[in-house]
Amino acid sequence: MDEQNKKFFEELAGASSSEHIIDQAPPNDIADSSDDEPEEPKAMLVKMGSSTSTRSRKIATTVSGNEAELPVSQPNVNGEFEENEGQLTVDIYQTLDEIVIQSTVAGVRPEDLDIQITPESVTIRGMRQREEEVRDQDYFYQECYWGRFSRSVILPQEIDAEKAAASLKNGVLIIRLPKLNRQKTKKLKVKFT
């Protein structure tokens, strides 16, 4: 991977120089060398750090009309979150006045969610706990992710973190982030002296 692409993915993922980005390319004996077929994309593994901005803040979430403060996730002894965290899937869209993030978090209790917001990014962390223990050999299919998960998103424009709100209804987390309207242009008149 060339240096420019590596830097782009590091910025996108929020990786620093102390974090690791590993290229995963198919083995040579599997790759097809014919010229008329497009090259297969490479998978990127990114080890994310747990650093959070001092400008981030916790927000309250409204669950079925009751408001609850979201707790801060607890890192391990080294100050990092577990490597086997799952990645939360999200939908992000905009309206005229806000950016909206939606994610399915079925089975997650509000007290097991942690949302950190800065004007430029949002990080969602949480834990989906099993209600009962099931032995591995008793599963026919095991597709649900249980345990810690997280997702950090770089926002396309600055938002007002102080006015952000989150709600959880029917297993869907919705975060509403009011846009900061700093894109207004100002006309200047030039005086000739």
Tens of pLDDT along 98-113? 999 999 998 898 899 9
Could you tell me if 95 and 157 lie in one domain?
yes
Please say whether the beta carbons of 42 and 24 come within 8 A.
Answer: yes
Q: Which of 41-50, 102-111, 184-193 has the lowest mean pLDDT?
A: 41-50
Residue 128 lies in a domain: yes
Model confidence over 82-141: pLDDT tens digits?
457 888 899 999 999 999 999 999 889 889 999 999 999 999 999 988 888 889 899 999
What pLDDT does residue 97 have? 93
Could you tell me if 88 and 156 lie in one domain?
yes
Please say whether the beta carbons of 123 and 150 come within 8 A.
Answer: yes
Instruction: Say which residues have a Cβ less than 8 Å from residue 59's Cβ, sequence separation at least 6.
Output: 70, 115, 117, 164, 165, 166
Domain holding 107, by residue range, is 50-132+139-181
pTM for the predicted model, two decimal places: 0.53
Evaluate if residue 40 carries a pLDDT over 90. no
Which one, of 163, 193, 159, lies nearest residue 179 by Cα? 159
Could you tell me if 112 and 32 lie in one domain?
no
Could you tell me if 26 and 88 lie in one domain?
no
